Amino acid sequence: MNPLLMGALLVGLWGVFAVSAARRLRLLKTGAPTWEPRYDQPLKRLAGVVRFALLQVKMPNYPLAAAAHYLIFSGFVVLLLRTLVLWGRGFEPTWNLLVLGPEPVLGLPLGEIYGFVKDVFALLVIAGSVTFVYLRVIRREKRMTLSGEGLLILGIIVAMMLADLSYDAATTLLNQRFASECGARPAEFCGVARELVAPLGPPRDSLGFFPEPGAALFALAYQGLGSGALTVVARAGFWLHSTLVLVFLNILPFTKHFHIITAVPNIFFGDLTPRGRLRPLAPNTEALMSLVEKATEAEEATAARVGYARLGHFPWKDYLDWYTCTECGRCSDNCPAFITGKLLSPKQFTLDLRDQLYAHGPTPKDLVPEVIKPEVLWACTTCRACEEHCPVNITYVDKIVQMRRNLVTIRGEFPSELQKPFTGMETNGNPWNIARMDRGAWTEGLDVKRMADKPDAEVLFWVGCAASYDDRAKKIARATAQLLTQAGVDFAILAQEETCTGDPARRAGNEYLFSMLAETNAATLNGYKEKGGARRVITTCPHCFNTLANEYPDFGVKLEVIHHADFLLGLLAEKKLVPKAGVRGKVVYHDSCYLGRYNDIYESPRAALARIPGVELVEVEYFNKNRGLCCGAGGAQMWMEEQNKERMNVKRTLQLLDTGAKTIASACPFCMTMITDGVKSQSKEEEVKNLDIAELLAEACGVGTPAVAAAE
């Protein structure tokens, strides 16, 4: 073709890309150090890359978009070899990769096989691109932002495919034509062919046997062109494809398509610690107090930061998250706050931080309220729906909580409704601020032992604040205790010795209060462990379960923690509990976020319910299991008023009612409260019962006061 032009093109555009990429890398390095190691467990990290980056397991939640993305992604992988071949032909027209040459390799015509596969994928890439244009322009999905940038990229992709197919079609027709004109002589000995065809690439097969369907289709369209026109088409296709690949590469660092480069490292360097764990700011309360003092005295010092107030406080991995955002909108499309009209949009939250970083770098400017409004942070329920659906594993909850931590601990700014639960947890060990001595009052009439009296009890029943103080949730505790008693489980409770795990405080950003509560509980739990008791801990509250299992190990507590759904299912499997009475009618199970998305417990509650005679389990369409809508209570939202009139719990309740179920089952006392209020808002409390799985099992096993689920 033209070695000088190809050399200038490659050196020039690769050089421009190197400058842009270096700029992004330098900016990435300005982020703070990560809290956790990011190079450990390399095999597990590589497995994550295969699963999320290559197999893209999160994509199928949106089938049409997933299919289009698979086609484009696969096409680019296949066509990478083709691009290398074309760049090589810019220097030597007959150049080919060894395995793609005309000669068989190990007896296989790999060149022809690749040509066929390449053409098929080129057509599929075009189909995928057209699908995305349809989704953006015709169907106009709300989660996607209609922008010239997105359409430009799709246009470039289609143009690359068309150029490649045109190049193949034109060179094939030229070779066929000149071979015919030269008679029996091979094309390479024909002077005209040598002049016009050789610079366009190696000789092509005749149309009599055409293994490349895309080029064959284009060849039919170009058959009427003269040799000169075909030469122009071939040269244009060659240079257009070769150049557009480099143009596309240079656009990447300035658009959402940067994820093509950053998705693999972003997934590889992901946090491998439990999803339900928030990183502690300090190893203990004393160290945290010291950190707060340093941050208050010298707020500019990144090393003394408490939470995140400025871009420079975020670790480099968070920067990489922002680089990798595909702007697909799946996060916001599944965010309960966003879909009920709150100011929080996980997608926009990420883009606002990214754009601020790109425009100004890690400046000492406070992000709240100039860049991120406080209402955005306080609307989050920490349900992790955004993270569950992000195809490139961007995290949001940790960033939001870190920003809350700075607002609460350093600036003393938080919603006024949180003052009472903060005071209650600090004073009486519960967010309702009810007397600590009443914590075990729910056991009245039951033979429930205290750990103080039975320190060697094999199982500790961690009751939690809701089931200890909330009148409705107390019934869950009683049903659970009665089932444990019937099954002969050696268990006891802490009663007044138990205090709030601190989950609401930590998710609301009050890390100091959480640390104080965690240390108190850690001392109690480890004390009984040393006495030979509390070898296993069960709890009815997913928030307590998550905190004890995933966050208390940071405070030296390492126990086997089991949610009551799993524990009760085990008792059923061992025949220690045998349901006899039936609960007739349809039952729909509502997944708790902290049980499901945080800890992958989806099946055991359903399996326990399925063992009850007469139960017909039904599911909410789409919004079930890992796609289940949050009840709205997480992230300390239980004690805050929602920002507008549309309530999350009502929206979730309507989804559950749409199944036609007459019984709504749950496995979380907070979900119980929110769904019960939702049922009342629809005046359905006489028709539809909302019961914990323990209550349903207690009725079926004939213990306690019958729950009496409504029949159809």
| Beta-strand relationship, 585-589 and 560-563 | unpaired
Name the phi and psi angles at 68, rounded to 5. Answer: -65, -40
Tokens of 387: 């993270």
The 8-class DSSP code of residue 381 comes to: -
Report how far residue 552's alpha carbon sits from residue 530's, in angstroms, rounded to the nearest whole number.
17
Q: Is 581 left (phi over 0), alpha (psi -120 to 50) or beta?
A: beta
Break the chain down into helix, strand, coil percent, rounded to 5: 60, 5, 35
CB 498 within 8 A of CB 544: no
Q: What are the counts of helices (DSSP H) followed by strands (DSSP E) for the chain? A: 28, 8
Structure tokens that stand for 305 in this block? 């930061």
Structure tokens at 383: 């349900």
Judge whether 164 and 76 are in contact, CB under 8 Å. Answer: no
The answer to whether 280-413 and 420-572 have equal CATH topology is no
What is the distance between the alpha carbons of residues 17 and 12, in angstroms, rounded to a whole number? 9
- 3-class DSSP state for residue 668? coil
φ, ψ dihedrals at 665, nearest 5°: -100, 145
Return the amino acid letter for 369.
P
Cβ 560 vs Cβ 459: under 8 Å: no
> Which 8-state DSSP code applies to residue 631?
-
Strand partners, 587: 617, 663
Helix axes 669-681, 648-657, angle to 10 degrees: 80
In CATH terms, the fold of domain 3-10+42-265 is Fumarate Reductase Cytochrome B subunit (1.20.950)
Q: Name the fold adopted by 420-572.
A: Rossmann fold (3.40.50)
Tokens of 44: 């597990």
Rg over CA atoms, the chain: 32
Annotated domain spans of the chain:
3-10+42-265, 280-413, 420-572, 577-700
Query: What order of strands is seen across the sheet that includes strand 689-692?
Result: 615-618, 585-589, 663-666, 689-692
pLDDT digit string, tens, across residues 281-311: 999 999 999 988 888 776 555 555 799 999 9
As given in the structure block, the two tokens for residue 493 are 């409770």
DSSP conformation class of 643: S
CA neighbor of 395 nearest in space, from 360, 350, 351, 354: 350
- What one-character-per-residue DSSP string does 430-477 give? STT---GGGTTGGGTTS---BTTT-TT-SEEEE-HHHHHH-HHHHHHH
3-class secondary-structure state, position 272 = coil
pLDDT beneath 50: ranges in the chain: 184-189, 192-193, 195-196, 204-210, 706-712
Cα gap 386→659, rounded to integer Å = 25
Q: In whole angstroms, what is the distance from residue 641 CA to residue 410 CA?
A: 24
DSSP H or E segment with residue 291: helix 285-297
Q: Which CATH architecture has domain 577-700?
A: 3-Layer(aba) Sandwich (3.40)
pLDDT value for 710: 34
Amino acid code (one letter) for 322: W
pLDDT reported for residue 707:
42
- Give 680's contacts (C-beta < 8 A, 6+ positions apart): none
Tokens coding 677: 């209020």
Q: Order the strands of the 491-492 sheet from edge to edge.
A: 491-492, 459-462, 536-539, 560-563
Q: Please give the distance of CA 500 from its chain centroid, rounded to a whole number.
A: 29
DSSP string, 129-182: HHHHHIIIIIS--TTS---HHHHHHHHHHHHHHHHHHHHHHHHHHHHHHHHHHT
- Strand, coil or helix: what is 585? strand
| Residue 597 DSSP SS3 | coil
pLDDT at 299: 52
Closest CA to 61 of 393, 334, 396, 381: 334
DSSP helix/strand/coil, 617: strand
3-state secondary structure of 80: helix
Fold topology of 280-413: Fumarate Reductase Iron-sulfur Protein; Chain B, domain 2 (1.10.1060)
Instruction: At 207, list the tokens.
Output: 């149309």
Query: What value, to the nearest 5°, has the Cα angle with vertex 12 and ends 11 and 14?
Result: 65
* CA gap 269, 648 in Å, rounded: 34
Q: Determine if the peptide bond prior to 60 is cis (ω within 30°).
A: no
- State the virtual CA torsion across 502, 399, 387, 510 in degrees, nearest 10: 10
